Structure 1
Amino acid sequence: MGVYIFVIAAALAVFGILMMYKKNVERLKEDPSQVGEAHRSFFISTAVIEALPIVLLILGLVNMEPVPMEDIYLPAIIIVMLAAFSIFFIFLQRSVGTDDESKQAVNNLSMIAIMMSNAIPIIALIFLFLSVQS
């Protein structure tokens, strides 16, 4: 169960950030002049959303026990699938219903969201591989 704390942290971060991305990208598609407000809202909500996953990562790191390599295959696959899902979701939302006027603002927010939504899963993968027995 110890390695799955990293999966929970990654899932909470990815789904929370994707919800806030969806809300803010819809705002940009409706009114591209609200770029500053959408970015500010996205960054503040991302900071709040990532608080619990960061605590979970630290808790998992502190309570880490050596596990055999076979025990981290499934958690690693789940984390990679979460990261791939976030990229797929963001590209899908970016391309659907975007007019030429809001395209640049939506693209900027999308690239930021890809980096933010994959930060915790990447850290979770690193911590997961640190727990492998040598």
Structure 2
Amino acid sequence: MAFYGGDKMGISYVFVLAAAIAVFVNVMNYKVSMDAMKELPENKEKVQSRFFLILALSEIIPIILIVYGFSNLETVSAMEELYMPGLLVIVLIGFAALFIVLQRIVGVPKDMKAFAKNFSNIAMATTMSIPIIAIIAMYTMIP
């Protein structure tokens, strides 16, 4: 199952790789940003702008992988070839959602609850974008 050379099964794993990179980097970026906001709530605007800068830079490799995957996209011979990649992407989505919700709940000062909720919703949407694109890409590979 190589990621090169037009292997149909491998192309689906390119989408999984893009989703995994996006989820793990975005979740770690969110955690660092939330911890910084919990420590110094008065610097939340600065932390939030740093979050978006790192987010933009961290999406470069997953976007390149998505473009590569779509450029080599072919239908698979049997739908069973997409079960494992699809399951992996769904697990990544569940992990990200659980992690972001738990970070929002634990240790947030009362005066910062509304900001943390809005920030978490933004982080959830940006973290889920690449995995959703990966699911759509795998859907287009169905015979």
Question: Please, what TM-score do these two structures have when normalized by structure 2?
Answer: 0.89
What is the DSSP-based 3-state SS (H/G/I as helix, E as strand, rest coil) of the residue aligned with 1:2?
Answer: helix
Partner of 2:54: 45
CA distance, structure 2, for counterparts of residue 25 and residue 108 of structure 1: 12
Secondary structure of 2:11 counterpart: coil
Deviation at 1:108, TM superposition (A): 1.7
Deviates most, 116-125 or 101-110 = 101-110
- Tell me, in whole angstroms, the C-alpha distance in 1 between the residues paired with 2:30 and 2:49: 12
Superposition misfits of 4+ residues, deviation over 4 angstroms = none
For 2:105 and 2:97, the matched residues in 1 are separated by 12
For residue 47 of structure 1, report the CA deviation from its aligned partner. Answer: 0.6
Structure 1 SS opposite 2:110: coil
User: In structure 1, which of residues 1, 5, 20 is the aligned counterpart of residue 14 of structure 2?
Assistant: 5
TM-align CA RMSD:
0.9
Matched, 1:64 2:73: yes
* Aligned amino acid, residue 113 of structure 2: K
% identity of equivalent residues:
38
Q: 2:32 and 2:136 mapped to 1: Cα distance?
A: 30
Which protein has greater RCO, CA pairs closer than 8 Å, 6+ apart? 1
After superposition, what is the alpha-carbon deviation per residue over 1:23-48, rounded to whole angstroms, capped at 9, x for unaligned?
10011111112221121111110110
Name the SS for the 1:102 alignment partner.
helix
C-alpha deviation, 1:102, in angstroms: 2.1
- Please tell me whether the aligned partners of residues 28 and 105 of structure 1 are also in contact (alpha carbons under 8 angstroms): no
Give the structure 2 partner of residue 29 of structure 1: 38
1:76 aligned residue (86, 108, 111): 86
Q: Which runs of 5+ in 2 are unaligned?
A: 1-9
Deviation at 1:70, TM superposition (A): 1.1
| Aligned residue-pair number | 133
1:19 to 2:35 alignment:
no
Q: TM-score, normalised by structure 1?
A: 0.95
Alignment-derived partner of residue 87 in structure 1: 97
Q: Could you tell me which runs of 5 or more consecutive residues in structure 1 were left unpaired when the two chains were aligned.
A: none
- Tell me, in whole angstroms, the C-alpha distance in 2 between the residues paired with 1:94 and 1:2: 35
Q: Whole-Å Cα distance in 1 between the matches of residues 136 and 58 of structure 2?
A: 21
